Amino acid sequence: MIYKVHSCSIYGINGYIVNVEIDLSNGLPGFDIVGLPDATIKESKERVRAAIKNSSFQFPTKRITINLAPADIKKEGSVFDLAIAAGILGANMFFPDDNIDRTIFLGELSLDGSVKGIKGILPMCIEAKKNGFAQVIISNENAKEAALVKELSVFPVRDLNEMVDFLNNTEIIKPAVSDMNNLILNPIDDFDFKDVKGQHTVKRALEIAAAGSHNIMMIGPPGSGKTMLARRVPSILPDMTFEESLEVTKIYSVAGLLKENENLITNRPFRSPHHTISAASLTGGGRIPRPGEVSLSHHGVLFLDEMPEFPKHVLEVLRQPLEDECVTISRVNGTVTFPAKFMMISSINPCPCGFFGDESGRCNCTASQIKNYMGKISGPLMDRIDLQVEVKALKFHDLDETSKSESSESIRKRINIARQIQLERYNNQGIFSNSQLKPKHMSKYCKISKAEKNLLKEAFDKFNLSARAYNRILKVARTIADLEDCGNIKIHHIAEAIQHRILDKKYYF
């Protein structure tokens, strides 16, 4: 006889439905799993056998064949344990067939029959809802995360016995409910701009970058505060919408990086990979592709500290995600696209020793050393960075200052207002910040008068700017205008945007 239950798996960061077909036939007892299973799935037959026996159910002494359909997609992980066990128990009539066609089974089994949590539960439940399933049966560990999907009944079970009792209607299990009160964004209190001494120009540039989600580079000597400033940027980023939180949580769920008792990510991600990172770890990859750092930074910040220390070929892979806001990875098994809509912050020293251009005159690097050092950052990559700001070493009187700087909360209020202006302006166009404007939008949303055009033309010719740099100056000027709640881009907006675009000429890029 053939019995069918339903489960789900992950491809990229999206789920897809897997039909688990069980055939029990007479003959020499055996247990085979087909449908391109990996080693983990092949081992599940031993886990399922032990779990059923240790749950006081009789394991059938028949030839058992399990097919995971669609059979042409490679499957991995322990997610199918619960579905395989449910299929075998259902085929032996330990529970009725009612509602089985509308139920998804997701979970790993221990040898004692208890149900354990799995990675990627959120995208699987989203896919189950899309395909019209009414309920999912999962472990208690995954219940709060799965309950984020509305209009889908989530029933957490401790073990196989509880699942069978529930399906037999001899035990009532209340559907899991997500605690929406815990989904409010909590400000990051550990790092606040009020603790930063001086550096008013840098803080202004970071405010502009955060308001429009622009990429920014900080150039300055060691100890000037570049890393300290970058780590405070999440404290001024605008609030995440519920949809953005769901997108980020999907990525972290698939990567297995959700913290304990964290069912939804409500703070924007901040990722700071070490400079020894590989290209595959940065963009994502593997035999079965997994999200990389650029995707883990989705809707947040990717911070590259000491950017020239990263291998040049690793930096070059950032070109596509910075432009397209996604990463496409092709493997023999198929092609996967991961979202990568992030704000990049980078910090660099102006030379190998770090003191080129410093007033102290301590730099002893030759012109060729400086050129080679800065040459690690290519022109095309530099062209994709919207703002460049110089971080100068602080004087003693700056450090001895007792008055507090403006707090992150105060800056964040202005940024939230500017982002709201952008959301209303680009309503229903798939654009959420000025950095996402395409060339076709520039003439409509970044109109400038003759005086502004003349200034921009002068800068374009004098500094030999590219067409991409021209567009990015206009986007930054649009953000500066939004921070002032100004409908039109004025000449001082253009001037400030240009000022933050030409620093590379000083340092011989």
Length of the chain: 509
Give the CATH superfamily of 193-433.
P-loop containing nucleotide triphosphate hydrolases (3.40.50.300)
Specify the 3-state DSSP secondary structure of 441. helix
According to the model, what pLDDT value does residue 224 have? 87
Tokens at residue 393, please?
């070493």
First to last CA, the chain: 71
Residue pLDDT, tens place only, 426-470: 988 888 899 999 888 888 899 999 999 999 999 999 888 888 889
Tell how far CA 451 is from the center of its chain.
41
Determine the residue type at 422: Q
Compute φ and ψ for 359, nearest 5 degrees: -65, -25
Per-state percent for the chain, helix, strand, coil, to nearest 5: 40, 20, 40
**Domain limits of the chain?**
2-178, 193-433
Residue pLDDT, tens place only, 178-235: 765 555 445 455 788 988 888 889 999 999 999 999 999 999 999 888 999 999 999 9
User: What pTM, to 2 d.p., does this model score?
Assistant: 0.89
According to the model, what pLDDT value does residue 485 have? 93
Dist CA 383 CA 408 (whole Å): 29
Tokens at residue 488, please?
């039109």
The CA–CA distances, whole Å, from 375 to 316, 350, 370 equal: 12, 11, 8
Options 3.40.605.10, 3.30.230.10, 3.40.47.10, 3.30.300.30; CATH of 2-178? 3.30.230.10
> Which segments in the chain show pLDDT lower than 70?
179-189, 397-400, 402, 504-509
Specify the 3-state DSSP secondary structure of 242. helix
